[in-house]
Amino acid sequence: MAGFELIKRLFGSEHGERRAVPRTGEPRGACILVVDDSATIRAVIGKMLMQNGHMVLKAADGEQALATARRESPDLIFLDIVMPGMSGFAVLRALRHDPLTRDIPIVMISGNLQATEQFYVQRFGADDFMKKPFGRGEVFARIEHLTRSGRLVVRQRAEVEAPTGEPEHTEAEHAAIPDIAMPDPHDMVAPAATHD
């Protein structure tokens, strides 16, 4: 978690005061799946979303993302492009071909310039894109845009039981999670070509 402290110091703490300001045009209580092989990125986006009253599901790889999306039917998915094993593009195609998940809005994320260019050239059916680094404002601008366009509709869900077992982060670790997501070093490597 020392990396969180460094990022927090570099970007200051002005983001902390903005957390308490309610956002307009953004639904409350959405179930959002965050898919990224970086635990840091999952933690950063998860913290942002939970602070605004959303339920957050997390997946560290493509296979876990597909299983979670099929089982939980989230209202929105944030999906990293560059991941080991199954790439974000492959996950996106699988989600779009599955009747259970094809209508879920998906925001692709990447810090890899080549992956970003590939997204804009091929646009495999994603609803939006965020380039790392990104902060709270960009995450919630995407959510607001999808809500206004009618793509993001938050469904009523039964009460969700609190998870049992050890919490994902200690209180100190949670407090140290910054409000900005930086690219991971592996994002600088070009994604493997897909053959579909």
Q: For residue 118, what pLDDT is reported?
A: 72
> What is the SS3 assignment for 80?
strand
For the chain, the domains span 28-156+167-182
Phi/psi at 16 (nearest 5 deg)? -60, -40
The mean of the pLDDT values for the chain is: 76
| Most confident region among 14-18, 74-78, 159-163 by mean pLDDT | 74-78
92 CA to centre of own chain:
13
% of the chain exceeding 70 in pLDDT: 63
- pTM over the 0.75 mark: no
pLDDT band for position 75 (50/70/90)?
very high
DSSP 90-149: HHHHHHHHSTTTTTS-EEEEES-HHHHHHHHHH--S-SEEEESSEEHHHHHHHHHHHHHT
CATH code that applies to domain 28-156+167-182: 3.40.50.2300
Full strand arrangement of the beta sheet holding 31-35:
55-59, 31-35, 76-80, 106-110, 128-131
Asked if 152 contacts 75 with a C-beta cutoff of 8 angstroms, the reply is: yes
pLDDT band for position 27 (50/70/90)?
confident
- Tell me whether strands 106-110 and 134-135 are parallel, antiparallel or unpaired: unpaired
How far apart (Å, rounded) are the C-alpha atoms in residues 73 and 69?
5
Long-range CB contacts (within 8 A, 24+) of 160-165? 160/55
